[in-house]
Amino acid sequence: MCLLITILGIVFGTRVTRRRKKRASSRNSPPGPRRLPIIGNLHQLVLLGGQLPLHQRLRELARAHGPVMRLQLGQLRHVVVTSAEAAEQVMRTHDLAFASRPSSLVLEILTYGRRDLAFAPYGDHWRRMRKLCVVELLSARRVLSFRPHRMEEASKLVAAISRSSSHEGVRLKPILGTFANAVVCRAAFGKPLKLVALLDDAMVTAGGFRLSDVFPGLEFLAVVSGYRSKIEAHHRLLDSLLDEVINDHMAKRRTNSTAKATDGDQTTEDLVDVLLNLQQNADPASPITMEAVKAVLQDMFLAGTDTTTRTIEWAMAEMMKNPSAMQKAQTEARSVFSDNVTEEGLHELEYLDAVIKETLRLHPPGPFLIPRESREEANVGGFDIPVRSQVLVNVWAIGRDPRYWNEADKFSPERFLNSTTDYRGAHFQFLPFGAGRRMCPGIQFGMVVVQLALANLLFHFDWKLPNEMKPEDLDLTEEFSDNALKMRETLLLIPVARRIGSP
């Protein structure tokens, strides 16, 4: 019976899709690979993808069909952008037309009905949340106020690596994850929280492919299969933890027993305090709901932990594979700092800054930017993009395109020395954090954490590969999972503590 209903749902959805196609037949649609009835191009990504991760597979298809490529995935129309010029048209020329986000069952549940910033549809709520984040939560002054927390956690990172040192090697990722989690949690919640495991479990459940993802008319399958109830269970656990944190803050505000959250002293406020202040003083005509507060806090944690951890791990891996880069970065760090690494001196680490940029070029946090959805018809690369098209920008492919980069697959931080190319959305050949209205607002917060961690790793330790492995044998094969670029093999290194004062 369920199978019959599924088939009928697919047939009905396909007829609706065909009617839409007929209405759009006069448009100059982007080229794309040949589609099959009902499933569209799903077979080329799910069934025939071979050994290539999705971002690499889409680059190969774009080489055959062009930098603005149409894909039909079930009932959903996608446009894949694989050039700096087309990306600029999407995120600058027609930024407002592509300012919204597509929805999904998972997002609706985990983000409180898309009341967050990252996945909210374009509109009044999103504009209010964006202003709140840029002006109040992630301003330069606010980020600076969290410096003592970052310095303390950086010292703990160095101590943890020293304790873990062994001849077999240390798995960097778990230690870096603990560091990033602590930094973000102390800034957001005032104390470390064990959110990582809860969010990881939720992401594992949310991952994978389901028919209802590309056939929205079959959403009932998520109920029948028990998938929806699993996502809702994860959401309840996360919601309960956030409720506990917020209730603690509200109790402290009432008793005024700790650092006053209402006195305007930014040095004592965490992000929960800031959001509660804003909620209390919000215009009654446009209130900030508790669901929005929790959704934004969840965004902050998600964006600030895994992304930071992966970037640091990739940077260390690339320097281990390229010993000359490691030597230059270490020499620089040890010439700038004498006894300890300080944030005040990070701006002097020009070569390390180039290492980070080159790492982000080759290994952006997500090979695709969060999908945009067109609010109105627009022309990109000479092709008409209909309303409600989902646009994927393959920043991984653009970052390795030889049209923009010499020796595009080579790790060469020197390309960024004496260069104005930056990751803040003005250079469309280099878009690890996007551009335009939907660009990541937390760049400043995230990058200072990455710089501080790497500077400490370079200053306090020399690094070796285990088992007398040669640099050229280090496996940097990428793995695509949950829209993240991960190392297939976890980085295993041997740290050798350096005596302060030695070269």
Each residue of 393-420: pLDDT tens digit? 999 999 999 999 999 999 999 999 999 9
Which H/E stretch holds residue 313? helix 290-321
Residue 460's contacts (CB-CB under 8 Å, 6 or more residues apart) are: 158, 161, 162, 341, 497, 498
Query: Looking at 169-183, 185-199, 283-297, which range is the least confident one?
Result: 185-199
Q: How confident is the model at residue 277 (pLDDT cuts 50, 70, 90)?
A: very high
In this structure, the strands spanning 68-73 and 76-81 are antiparallel
Segment 100-107 mean pLDDT: 94
Nearest Cα residue to 272 out of 255, 286, 284, 288: 288
Q: Residue 12: its pLDDT value, please?
A: 41
Binding residue positions for heme: 440
Q: Residue 258: its pLDDT value, please?
A: 47
Segment 220-246 mean pLDDT: 92
Q: Residue 385: its pLDDT value, please?
A: 98
Q: H-type helices in 24-146, by residue range?
A: 42, 54-65, 84-88, 105-110, 124-131, 140-145
For the whole model, what pTM was predicted?
0.91
pLDDT over threshold 50, residue 353 = yes
Segment 219-248 mean pLDDT: 92
Q: Residue 503: its pLDDT value, please?
A: 62
Q: Residue 236: its pLDDT value, please?
A: 94
Q: Residue 502: its pLDDT value, please?
A: 61
pLDDT over threshold 60, residue 234 = yes
Segment 26-49 mean pLDDT: 86
CATH homologous superfamily of 2-497 equals Cytochrome P450 (1.10.630.10)
pLDDT over threshold 50, residue 8 = no
Cα 232 versus chain centre, distance: 23
Binding residue positions: 440
Residue 29 dihedral angles phi and psi, to the nearest 5°: -75, 150
Higher pLDDT, 13 or 282: 282
Query: Looking at 122-126, 312-316, 431-435, 488-492, which range is the least confident one?
Result: 488-492
Mean pLDDT taken over the chain: 89
CB 89, CB 428: distance < 8 Å: no
Q: How confident is the model at residue 47 (pLDDT cuts 50, 70, 90)?
A: low
